[in-house]
Amino acid sequence: MDWRNRITSDPEVLTGKPVISGTRLSVEHVLGLLENGWSETDILESYPHLESEDVRACLAYAREVLSEERLYHAPQS
């Protein structure tokens, strides 16, 4: 899945946080719902304007962002 078809960022919407296109629903919010035990079905029932692909796009976005993250540990003195 190419999340770029469903996730956008605009400085005028939620100060540029990534959101599901055409909404003010942030990727962060959707991930938080999933973290709190919501199923995809729960999300789609609560936000009927969303599609299953929107939820999967949030996960794909998060995966890609994390795959590019690098952590460097400084030696302990």
In order of their start, the domains of the chain are 3-68 (1.10.10.10)
Burial 7-30 (b: 16+ CB within 10 A, else e): beeeeeebeeebbbeeeebbbebb
> What pLDDT tens digit does each residue of the chain (77 aa) get?
799 999 999 999 999 999 999 999 999 999 999 999 999 999 999 999 999 999 999 999 999 999 988 888 888 87
pTM: 0.88
In the chain the beta strands, taken as DSSP E runs, fall at: 7-8, 19-20
Q: Please, are residues 61 and 4 in contact by the beta-carbon 8 Å criterion?
A: no
51 half-sphere exposure, CB direction, 13 A CA radius: 8
Residue with tokens 């460097």: 72
